[in-house]
Amino acid sequence: MPGRLIVLEGTEGVGKSTQATRLAESLGAVLVREPGASALGERVRALLLDPAITIEPRAELLLFLAARAQLVPVIRRHLAEGTTVVADRFFLSTYAYQGAGRGLPEAEIRELNRVATEGLVPDLTLLLVFPPVAGLARAESRALGRDRMERSGVEFHRRVGEAFARFLTPDWQREHLECGPIIGLDATGEIDAVAARIRGVVTEQFPKEFESWGAECGHGH
């Protein structure tokens, strides 16, 4: 049986990376992040997040897509081997950040993304829901300081947050089948509580693959 591609998405400071790491470790899955998870991807990531560099919106989009095009064959190989992959962001973020945030045309993003992904569709995207302003404050409290994306301004992140909320509507999902099923999940509260919610959704969506894992982790108790 092929592996599953499970994506975690959300606004800045939502705790997505922490939960993606925990989920991958629990499932024995491969963890990847966007941009990143390849030599090229990590170099692109460094450029995209560097606050000292000014990047035009279309250049930003193409850099993200270049990293994704490098990563997708790696994901496909793992899935073909029956290994589940947990991705810390995927192309839903492109619609939110470069589409809604930067104002680039969705039609262009969709076509370019189709080229980058070769039609790879996530089996499940968990969209962690958290107040954007509170998330930004959490991101700003990190010892490393804010990266270039986090410094894009309150209005930018408001548009991104509104876009993610729109992605949870049935109408939007019906019009964007390339994104696969998207489920919103409350990301407020303690880390363990959020992780338990994630376990519940994953085992409910894929009972044959992960039912025993859910029981071992305390799902349903």
Q: What is the pLDDT of residues 109-151, one digit of tens each?
A: 999 999 999 999 999 999 999 876 665 556 565 545 567 777 7
How far is residue 17 CA from its own chain's centroid? 9
What per-residue confidence (pLDDT) applies to 213?
59
Q: Global pTM?
A: 0.89
Q: Sheet harboring 30-33: ordered strands across?
A: 30-33, 85-88, 5-10, 124-129, 182-186
Cα dist. 78→97, 116, 161 in Å?
Answer: 27, 18, 31
What per-residue confidence (pLDDT) applies to 164?
95
Strand partners, 33: 88
Report all structural domains of the chain as residue ranges with CATH numbers, in order of start: 5-190 (3.40.50.300)
What per-residue confidence (pLDDT) applies to 44?
94
Residue 155 has pLDDT above 80, yes or no: yes
Q: Which of 44-48, 49-53, 70-74 has the highest mean pLDDT?
A: 70-74
